[in-house]
Every structure is written in C-alpha cells, then in structure tokens.
Structure 1
Amino acid sequence: MKPSMRKELLSQVEGLMNQYCNGCFLHKYLKREDGRRAAHRFCITQCTVGEQLQEYGKKLN
C-alpha cells in the first residue's frame, strides 16, 4: 500500500473517531453499567461506526 493511501485511511479513521466515538454517551453508559469489556464488545460488534472502523482496519493490513 502506498504511504499516501495509508495516510489518507488513517486520517479518515481519526475523523470518524473524533466525530462519533469521543464522548459517546452509549459507550460511557455501557462502561459504567456493564464494564469496559462489554462496552468495547458493543462498539466492535454492534455499532455501525465500529463496523466502519473495522473495514478501514482490514484495508490497512
């Protein structure tokens, strides 16, 4: 993968995280009620933003 393409993908990932994940009310609630692992599992398996982040991760590998 070209360095410029990698840099663009990382920029998109950072943008998504800043826009949707930082300060996510649902993540905070799940973390408080069910613990950090449950909140993380939700983000990875059920959150649409988490699914998009996974797609970007597959492209980076």
Structure 2
Amino acid sequence: MKPSARKELFNRVESLMNQYCEGCFLHQQLKREGGRRRAHRFCISECTIGERLQEYGEKLK
C-alpha cells in the first residue's frame, strides 16, 4: 500500500473518531453501568462506527 493511501486511511480513522467517538454518550453510560470492558466491547462489536473503524484497520494490514 502506498504511503499516501495509508495516510488517507489514518486521516479517515481520526476524523471518524473525532466526529463520533469523542464524548459518546452511549459509551459513557455503558462504562458507568457495566465497566470499561463492556463499553469497549459494545464499540467493537455493535457500534456501526466501530465496525467501520475495523474495516479501515483491515485495509491497513
């Protein structure tokens, strides 16, 4: 993968996280109710933004 393509993927990931993940109310609520692990698991397996981030991660391999 070209360095410019990698950089573009990193920029997309950062943009998504800044737009949707920073200050996410659902993540904060799940963290209070079930702990950090439960909130993180939700973000990875059920959140649509988390799924998109995983797709970008796969492309970076």
User: TM over 0.5, yes or no?
Assistant: yes
TM-score, normalised relative to structure 2: 0.99
Query: Paired residue for 2:24?
Result: 24
Aligned counterparts of 1:34 and 1:47: Cα–Cα separation in 2: 16
Q: 1:31, 1:25 → 2: CA distance?
A: 10
TM-score, length of structure 1 as denominator length: 0.99
- Correspondence list, 1:39-50, <5 A: 39-50=39-50
1:14 equivalent in alignment to 2:14 = yes
Runs of 4+ in structure 1 off by over 3 angstroms are: none
Report sequence identity in percent.
74
Between the aligned partners of 2:13 and 2:59, the Cα distance in structure 1 is 11
In the alignment, structure 1 residue 38 sits paired with structure 2 residue 44: no
Number of positions where the alignment pairs a residue of Structure 1 with one of Structure 2: 61
- One-letter code of the match for 1:60? L
- For 2:23, the aligned partner's letter is G
